[in-house]
Amino acid sequence: MLRRIDRPLIDRRHMLGHAVIDGDHMAIAEGWLRAVNCEPIAFPFFIARLKRLMKTHFDHEAALMLASGGSLCECHRKEHLGLLQLCDEASVLNAGNWRQTQSLLRKTFPKLMRNHIAEMDQIAVLFLNERQAIRKIDHD
């Protein structure tokens, strides 16, 4: 039996200052916590939920960027795909190796997700907040 994880995936240090994006990150963090602490029989449900939360977040980011006159760069989109593929890999591993599945989610996923937030999402939020400030100035 693997030990229970009580430490969150992200915390206040990972807040970027955009309500939608920060809210999505917190939902992903909760989904991850459930997936790493569930019993093997419940894992397919929780990994599918985590993947859906991430997909929703990625769609939100793309829509926000488009509405602000920008778009996500190719490297940002590739990281999104990589995170989704990691969930797929965990699903496949789950069929035969629970410990390896959990290791992937407990070690690899947090590092990739935190780096993605600190780098790619921070750039997106800077762009979004700047565009919002410009629109506010234009309307005043």
**What is the mean pLDDT, run by run of 10 residues, along the chain of 140 residues?**
80 93 97 94 95 97 96 96 95 85 91 96 96 72
Query: Looking at residue 93, what is its pLDDT?
Result: 87
Sign for the CA dihedral angle at 11, 13, 14, 17 comes to positive
What pLDDT is recorded for position 70?
Answer: 94
pLDDT at 5: 85
Going by the DSSP 8-state scheme, the letter that residue 13 receives in this structure is G
Query: Is the separation of the CB atoms in 14 and 114 below 8 Å?
Result: yes
**pLDDT tens per residue across span 125-137:** 999 999 888 776 7
Q: Rounded to whole angstroms, how far apart are CA atoms 91 and 12?
A: 29
Secondary structure element (H or E) that encloses residue 110, with its range: helix 109-116
